[in-house]
Amino acid sequence: MNRRNVLWSTVSALGAAFAASRAKAATEATKSDKLKVVYHLADADKVNFVLGNIQNHIDGVGGPDHVKLALVIHGPALKAFHRAQANPDVSGRISNFAKDGVELAACANTIKAQNIKLTDLLPGFVSAEKGGVVRLAELQSQGYLYLRP
C-alpha cells in the first residue's frame, strides 16, 4: 500500500509541475505576442471617426511598438484618401500611421471603380489586390481581431 501512495504522489507531483510549466509558457507567449487588429472602413462619413479610433488604439497600448494594426478601406470611404482631395488632417494622420507601421490597404476593386491608380492615393497605401473584403478575411485568418466602428 505504501508503494501505491509513493507512486501516486510522484505522478501527481509530475503532473502539477507539467501543468505549471505549460501555464507559465502560455503566459509568457501572450505577453510577447503583439495584439493584431484590423480596422474596416467603407463609409465616407466615418473616416475621421475611424482614424481617431486607430490613434486612440495606438496611444492606449503605449505606442505603435505594442500593437500590429491594419486599415482596410473600400467603397466610398476611399475618396477621402485621394491625394488631390484629402484634407490636411487626414493626410497627416495617414502619414503618421504609415511611419508607425500600420498597414494601409486600399481595395483594388474600388481603385478600379473610382478610375484611379494606387499612386493617386496618399503615400503609404498598398493595394489589396484580391479586394478589400478578401484582405479582411486573410488578416482575420492570421489572427487579427476585426473592428468596424
Q: Is the distance from CB of 37 to CB of 70 less than 8 angstroms?
A: yes
Same domain as 65, residue 6: no
pLDDT at 18 over 70: no
pLDDT at 91 over 80: yes
Same domain as 105, residue 75: yes
Same domain as 80, residue 105: yes
- Count structural domains, the chain: 2
The dihedral formed by the CA atoms of 142, 121, 80 and 83, expressed in degrees to the nearest 10: 150
- Domain boundaries, position 93: 34-147
- Segment 40-61 mean pLDDT: 97
Same domain as 58, residue 109: yes
Same domain as 23, residue 10: yes
> How much is the pLDDT for 93?
98
More confident residue, 11 or 68: 68
Same domain as 111, residue 56: yes
Task: Give per-residue pLDDT as tens, 97-113.
Answer: 999 999 999 999 999 99
Same domain as 114, residue 77: yes
Confidence band of 20 (pLDDT split at 50, 70, 90): low
Backbone region of residue 35 per phi and psi (left: phi > 0; alpha: psi in -120 to 50; beta: other values): beta
pLDDT at 29 over 60: no
- Segment 32-54 mean pLDDT: 94
Q: Is the distance from CB of 64 to CB of 54 less than 8 angstroms?
A: no
